[in-house]
Structure 1
């Protein structure tokens, strides 16, 4: 009986951990559709294999970030070093990186997008890179970008 209970607890625990994992979109068209449908801005992470992992480890892999992101943004990860991406996607990601003025990787840009007459227009809300201080500090800084009237 105890063995069955332990197996059940292990299974439920792993399901709960998996349920808290943020869902990162890699297709910009899908992310824009979800963003507009849910009325949430996109958090666009520009990264590469050679980028430092501080932001990933100290912010994105935390339960605080998982809960905050689920309620506030649509997550988009654009890996500029992805060798499996097709040429069109690579070009699109590079154009977006340049359009948002991303200089260092990893960096996050907050934006909304609209499509009118088959032309996509992005409205940049702000950007943020890695900041020491943990997930709660980073989330607070992000909230000040997303909700500037709340901080005044």
Structure 2
């Protein structure tokens, strides 16, 4: 009976861990609310998910790894700002992403900005902490750069 109980407990535990996968927000306002509550900065990932080779490589080598997942859950609120060529988007998401692309002066992909959110005179402001893109060397090298940026906050 004990073995059945322990096996069942382990099985349920594995489903719970699997269910806690990373959440990439596409609505920046929702991400801002979470950032304010959690006191974590935003990680804004500007990507061309269906055409940008370096974006796809960054996803595969870093953003979809267990090391990144663990780090992200502890340190940031994730926001994906996508500029696809083939994948449809709502007009609201396109407008939001275009405005943020202009606000952050994005010139190429992938670009990742780290920012704190503040309210000044009733307006949302992004206080940039730093930015990066693709970093060769996998999650260890990329996270070293990201941690260096976050230490400045």
Count how many residue pairs are aligned between Structure 1 and Structure 2. Answer: 144
**For residue 95 of structure 2, what is the aligned residue in structure 1?**
91
Alpha-carbon contact 2:25-2:31 (below 8 Å) kept: yes
Q: Distance in 2 between matches of 1:17 and 1:107?
A: 28
Q: Distance in 1 between matches of 2:88 and 2:137?
A: 33
Superposed, which structure 2 residues align to 1:124-139 within 5 Å?
Answer: 124-139=128-143
Write out per-residue CA displacement over residues 89-143 of structure 1, whole angstroms, 9 at most, x where no aligned residue. Answer: 3122112112212221121110112234442211111111011101011011000
Q: 1:76 and 2:104 equivalent? A: no
Report deviation, 1:83: 1.9
Alpha-carbon contact 2:129-2:152 (below 8 Å) kept: no
Alpha-carbon contact 2:26-2:93 (below 8 Å) kept: no
Write out per-residue CA displacement over residues 19-63 of structure 1, whole angstroms, 9 at most, x where no aligned residue. Answer: 3x2111110000001101111100000112212211100001111
Q: Distance in 1 between matches of 2:127 and 2:109?
A: 21
Unmatched segments (≥5 aa) in structure 2 = none
> TM-score, normalised on structure 1?
0.82
SS, match of residue 120 in structure 1: strand
Match of 2:69 among 66, 91, 105: 66
Superposed, which structure 2 residues align to 1:100-115 within 5 Å?
Answer: 100-115=104-119
Unmatched segments (≥5 aa) in structure 1 = none
Alpha-carbon contact 2:44-2:79 (below 8 Å) kept: yes
Most deviating of 122-131 and 140-149: 140-149
Indicate how the Cα distance of structure 1 residues 12 and 131 shifts in structure 2: closer, same or farther if over 3 A, else same: same
- Aligned Cα RMSD in Å? 2.3
